[in-house]
Homo-oligomer: A and B are copies of this chain.
Amino acid sequence: MLTAPDDLIQLLTHEGKRVTHPDFSLDISDDEIRALYRDLFLVRRFDNEATALQRQGELALWAQCQGQEAAQIGAGRALSAGDFVFPSYREHGIAWTRGVDPVQILGMFRGTTNGGWDPYAHNFGLYTVVIGNQCLHAVGYAMAGLRENAGDVVLTCFGDGGSNQGDVSEAFVFAGVYNAPVVFLCQNNQYAISEPNTRQMRVPIYQRSSGFGFPGYRVDGNDVLAMFAVMRFAYEHARSGNGPVLVEAFTYRIGNHTTSDDATRYRDAAEVEYWKERDPILRVKRYLDSVKTPQSFFDEVEAAAEELAVRIRSGARQLADPTLDEMFTNVYSQPHPLVQQEHQEMTEYFAQFGGMQSPHSEGGH
């Protein structure tokens, strides 16, 4: 059974005790920790709400981030406003820290869009489904930043399995050669769908970067304080011209890979239980209790979560299907005769039936 190794950078144990680390320290107030707790708690609620919406048939699919909230909130909250993020498809927590409306994130899972938000309004790129593609975009975006002396850094996320795609290694090469201000965050949630780390790598992934010429760190990804501290260091390292950094957040995917998955086919309940005990939110709660946080705080957070849930439920149901015209828009930014012709043909075609019908899809998986 997979347990947590002891070489992880940690500042908050799963019992909720703050500990020190020789290389990384964090000067943070309890109020600031409460703010992080709030993030963690609300993102968890968002995630659970989305999972429920999928069960109710409001979403076609959902990729849960349960268990990875600390890695994402730590990474997201340590960013500066001008920094840019190139996520994978499970970074709901980071999206939250960038101010992306959770409802917008549901669009692609409901099937109303392939994207859902304006990357530039939040400095948060669209989710990338083709594993690894986004890492190269991050490096290119940073290379452009160097030409603008922008002074910002770029964060990109990938998974333990994704680390093996050629694109990710090539991103390491380019980031290294150009000393690009990119921080690579690998959320090692122990599984690539059903495949454990043992099928994906011979040595821990944080070691991968050294042969490309930049450092790698392995952090307790369920420890929001350690994640915040290490990511803040990594961003500063890159921002000050020292080049890229790889951070492995050692965490665990509590839920299924997606709502289409059945994790019981490939892992034991005992393992999941072990990791639930190391839950990233639970340990912060334990700490906050140990410092006598008033119940009123937790009540307020619970109330905010309930409010968020309501807003997500109604928002999700209101996500509208694209119209036929919208479907034909933005294939190109300038007119394209073939697209225009097919647009006209389909418009005339559907006119016979009084416009495009409502969707019906066979099967489903």
Contacts and interface: CB of A to CB of B under 8 A. Distances in A.
A286 interface: no
Interface in A126-158: none
Contact of A203 (B164, B199, B208, B213): B213
Interface stretch (A86-94, A166-174, A262-270, A319-327): A166-174
Contact of A202 (B207, B208, B213): B213
A145 B170 CA distance: 29
Nearest to A175: B202
Nearest to A173: B164
Interface in A175-232: 176-177, 179, 199-203, 207-214, 216
A165 interface: yes
A212 B176 CA distance: 17
B203 A177 contact: no
Q: Chain A: interface residue count, which band?
A: 20 to 34
A81 to B, nearest CB: 29
Nearest to A216: B211
B211 A207 contact: yes
B176 A170 contact: no
Contacts of A202: 176-177, 179, 212-214, 243
Contacts of A167: 166
A48 to B, nearest CB: 35
Contacts of A165: 166, 170
A126 B167 CA distance: 27
Contacts of A208: 211-212
B212 A203 contact: yes
Interface in A58-104: none
A216 B210 CA distance: 13
A163 B164 CA distance: 15
A210 B210 contact: yes
A327 B243 CA distance: 52
A211 B210 contact: yes
A166 B165 CA distance: 7
A5 to B, nearest CB: 16
Contact of A201 (B173, B179, B199, B210): B173
Name the residue among A199, A211, A212 with the largest chain B CB count within 10 angstroms: A211
* Closest 4 A/B residue pairs (Cβ): A166-B166, A202-B213, A169-B169, A176-B202
30 contacts: A164-B170, A164-B173, A165-B166, A165-B170, A166-B166, A169-B169, A169-B170, A173-B200, A173-B201, A176-B201, A176-B202, A176-B203, A177-B199, A177-B200, A177-B201, A201-B212, A201-B213, A202-B213, A202-B243, A203-B211, A203-B212, A207-B210, A207-B211, A207-B213, A208-B212, A209-B211, A210-B210, A210-B211, A211-B211, A211-B216
Given A169-B170, A173-B200, 18 more contacts: A165-B170, A166-B166, A166-B167, A166-B169, A169-B169, A173-B201, A176-B202, A176-B203, A177-B199, A177-B201, A177-B202, A179-B202, A202-B213, A202-B243, A203-B212, A207-B213, A208-B212, A211-B216
